[in-house]
Structure formats: structure tokens, C-alpha cells
Chain A
């Protein structure tokens, strides 16, 4: 009886794992996101200031036009991504509360600076 109970518990754990796996891998329906394009030119973000609405979800498409890599970084946005020279990267942001969220280029911290203003 005890053995049966243990087996049942073991099976429950196994099934639980695979059900969760199926759930994770199943297609997720998401709402439309506004796409905002930023370029990195001569170690500067262009534009360097973006205004979005509170609660809005956006997709930043960052095109690094420089030959050298740059790392988009922001602790406030909880994002960090290396963008190789001549390549694009997508960064998904939001929903955010009202405020200012600075970001910078890790490899050119004196020049590559920007912020997202959430109204």
C-alpha cells in the first residue's frame, strides 16, 4: 500500500514536470508592441531619449552602425545585450511605471547615454 502510494507520488511528479514543459513550450499569444528604432552612430544613441506611456510594452530595434561592438545596458530596465558592429538587436521593454529609466553603452560610457521617459 505504502509502495503504491510512493509510486503514485512519483508518477504525479513526473507528469507534473511534463505538463509544465508542454505549457511552457506552447505558443503564447501576445499583444501588439510598438516598435521603436534606435541607431548607434559614432558611439552615440540616436535618438537618445524615448517617451512611452505607463504600462506600454515596446520593442526597441537597435542598429549598431559602428564597426565596433556595443553593449546596451540598464540596471533600471533590467536589460543587458551586446550588439556586434553592423548588426541589429531586439530589446523588449515594459510594462513600466512612470519615471525615467537611463541606459548606456557599456563600451563607451562617456558618450553612449540615453533614457526612456515613461509618462
Chain B
């Protein structure tokens, strides 16, 4: 019971310690602390800021390929691109991501995993390291997931800074094809809150998973909407 209180109180603390700013880098995806063994993963992600006419004014795309290395270690490589009003996608960065499943699902009070990421931007000689603790807890047909990110940004051997980012998802496992939920993203600059719909289907030995979310900035006076989409193939 104490841990349950700590889990939710920490989420509330995160919500209220964020301050105002712009940009939508807080929104990404929610990582779960599990490694899918014996499979390859192909993933595409798009995160778009929507303008007043609900058209995407700026989008960030990711294309990744990943594979499990051991029963509890998964590695994935990403190419990251931006698209503004010019209608062309420019590759801006590359990323390597390692997910480590620390506990067996359901063994302890909550399931724990760790995420390590290194991203190199093509311009500015900017490097970014990210370490995250991934926590997931089941409440019957509900699942709560908390991602606590700590990032280190290193630019041109001159600028070094620590950044914090947290994300929370609460979803209802209604059916494999449809899981509604809510998500909260918090970093030092923004707070985004919104609804998501997740789902998946299996065709032979291939899983197709998708996620769609619409998130609203709640920390700014300026109204901002972010659309996030994900499509994943596991084979």
C-alpha cells in the first residue's frame, strides 16, 4: 500500500514541478520494461505539432530496427528526421537504444526495466545520452507505466547540461485490438496530457502494433496540440 501511494504521489510531484516553455520534445512514446525474445522489430514513429487548422506544422520521424540480444536485453537503431513546411524529411540524427529487463513480469510489486540511449545529431556535433528507469504495475485489467528519464546533452565540447523527462501511461486492456488510455509527459519545460489508443493484431508469426495519441500542452498559455503515432512490426 505504501508503494502504491509512492507510485502515484511521485507522478503528481512530477506534474507540479514542471515549468513553462515551448517546443514539444517532452512527447515521445512510453517504454515498457519487457523484452520480447526471439524476434526482430521494425518501428516507425511520428510526432507532429498541430497548428490551429489541425495541420502538422512540424514533425519528428523515427525509423528503427531492433533485435533481442539475450532474454533480457534488446537493442535498436534509429534514424531520426524532421519535416517542416518544406514537405521534405531531413535526417537529423542517429540513435542507439538498449533496453534491459531487470525483473520478471509479475514477480515483484512492480516490473522494472532500464533504458540507455545515445543520440548523435548530424549538425552541431551534439551528443545526447539518456538513461531511464521503466516501471510498470498491473491493477487487474489496468496497467500503469512510468518512465523516468535523465538526459545528458553535450554540444561542441562546450555546453553540458542535465535534463529530466518523465512520462506516465494508464491504459485499460480492453482487447488485444484496442486499449484506450491516458498519457502524461513532463520535462523541465512542458507538460502534455492526452488520450491514446493502442492496439495490435497477429498475422501468422508477425505482430502489428499501433499507437495513436493526441496530447494537449497544459503548462503553457499558448494552446498546443501534439499528435503522436507509432507502427511496429514484430517478426
Please pick, from A12, A28, A75, A92, the residue contacting B105 in the complex, using a CB distance under 8 A.
A92
Which residues of chain B from 110 to 129 have any CB-CB distance to chain A below 8 Å in the complex?
Answer: 112
Query: Quick one: which of B107, B148, B150 has the most chain A CB within 10 A?
Result: B107
Given known contacts A20-B133, A20-B148, A30-B108, is B17 in contact with A9 (CB within 8 Å)?
Answer: yes
| B57 contacts the other chain (CB 8 A) | no
B6:A23 contact, CB within 8 angstroms: yes
B10:A20 contact, CB within 8 angstroms: yes
- Give B132 Cβ to nearest chain A Cβ, in Å: 10
Interface string of B1-28 (1 = CB under 8 A from A): 0000010001001000100000000000
Residues of B within 8 A of A81 (CB): 37
Interface string of A7-18 (1 = CB under 8 A from B): 001001110110
B164:A17 contact, CB within 8 angstroms: yes
Residues of A within 8 A of B17 (CB): 9, 12-13
Residues of B within 8 A of A13 (CB): 17, 164, 188
Residue of A nearest to B19 (CB): A9
Given known contacts A75-B176, A80-B36, A82-B37, is B108 in contact with A28 (CB within 8 Å)?
Answer: yes
Residues of A within 8 A of B112 (CB): 24
| A97 contacts the other chain (CB 8 A) | yes
Residue of B nearest to A28 (CB): B108
* Docked CA distance A73–B121 (Å): 40
Which residues of chain B from 146 to 184 have any CB-CB distance to chain A below 8 Å in the complex?
Answer: 148, 150, 162, 164, 173, 175-176
| B104 contacts the other chain (CB 8 A) | yes
List the count of A-B residue pairs having beta carbons below 8 Å apart.
Answer: 56
Given known contacts A9-B17, A90-B104, A92-B104, is B148 in contact with A17 (CB within 8 Å)?
Answer: yes
| A51 contacts the other chain (CB 8 A) | no
Residue of A nearest to B6 (CB): A23
| Majority SS at the chain A contact face | mixed
A97:B140 contact, CB within 8 angstroms: yes
Please pick, from B107, B109, B135, B173, the residue contacting A78 in the complex, using a CB distance under 8 A.
B173
Residues of A within 8 A of B13 (CB): 16
* Docked CA distance A23–B109 (Å): 12
* Docked CA distance A93–B138 (Å): 11
Residues of B within 8 A of A69 (CB): 38
Q: B residues touching A (Cβ–Cβ < 8 Å)?
A: 6, 10, 13, 17, 36-39, 104-109, 112, 133, 135, 138, 140, 143, 148, 150, 162, 164, 173, 175-176, 188, 205
Can you sample 28 A-B contacts with CB below 8 Å? A12-B17, A14-B162, A16-B10, A17-B164, A20-B10, A21-B133, A21-B148, A23-B6, A28-B108, A75-B173, A75-B175, A75-B176, A78-B105, A78-B138, A78-B173, A79-B105, A79-B106, A80-B36, A82-B37, A84-B38, A90-B104, A90-B107, A91-B105, A92-B104, A92-B107, A93-B106, A94-B106, A97-B140
| The 9 A-B residue pairs with the shortest CB-CB distance in the complex, in nearest-first order | A92-B106, A82-B37, A82-B38, A92-B107, A28-B108, A75-B176, A13-B164, A92-B104, A24-B112
7 more A-B contacts (CB under 8 A) besides A20-B148, A24-B133?
A17-B150, A17-B164, A21-B148, A28-B108, A75-B173, A81-B37, A82-B39
